[in-house]
Amino acid sequence: MSKSIQIKSAEKADLKAILSLIRNHERYDVEFAKRYYNIYFGKEEITEKDKVYIAKIDENLVGVIGFCRDYFSTDYSYWLGWFVVDEEYRGNKKFKVAKKLLDKVKNELRKRNIKKLFVSTEDNNTRAKSFYAKNDFRTEAVLRDYYGEKEDQLILSTEYHSV
């Protein structure tokens, strides 16, 4: 049987697998993710414009991506959050999990007439920096020593135009 990829909206039943994926990739961030997803899946008003998608190959959750409105800016700026792909599928040219997840977000944001999408990443994460550069993100800011001495955080962004 051939494996196939499916990108779909995350549901509360996916929460355990989402947190497990995040824990394996961003161990320091899992408690914050847990608090966010409890609010998100609780359908609280603050997250009504947010969206989370998952990637499944057969029945295995292999990726997650989400976006939320920048509540301290305009209605036209959003942040990408918890963009994680299982190690086994990173860079996999057959499934292109990361590209398909990001394309799903891009299409949704264009429908909403969102103008700008931000994301943060570690400056030493060369794989992420390369992926974002290939997908038209550029550096907006550098937060020096954010994660520790000589461990900077990059703030990247890309702009969209309506469909």
The residue among 139 and 69 whose pLDDT is bigger is 139
pTM: 0.91
* Whole-number percent of the chain with pLDDT over 70: 95
Q: What is the count of structural domains for the chain? A: 1
Domain that holds residue 76: 5-159
* Whole-number percent of the chain with pLDDT over 90: 68
Task: Name 157's Cβ contacts closer than 8 Å, sequence gap at least 6.
Answer: 116, 117, 118, 119, 137, 138, 140
Average pLDDT over residues 102-121: 92
Structural contact between residues 77 and 118, judged by C-beta atoms closer than 8 angstroms: yes
Residue 104 has pLDDT above 80, yes or no: yes
Average pLDDT over residues 141-153: 92
Q: What's 92's domain CATH number?
A: 3.40.630.30
Q: What's the rounded Cα separation, in Å, for the pair 41 and 22?
A: 16
pLDDT tens track for 21-65 = 999 887 678 899 999 999 999 987 878 889 999 999 999 999 999
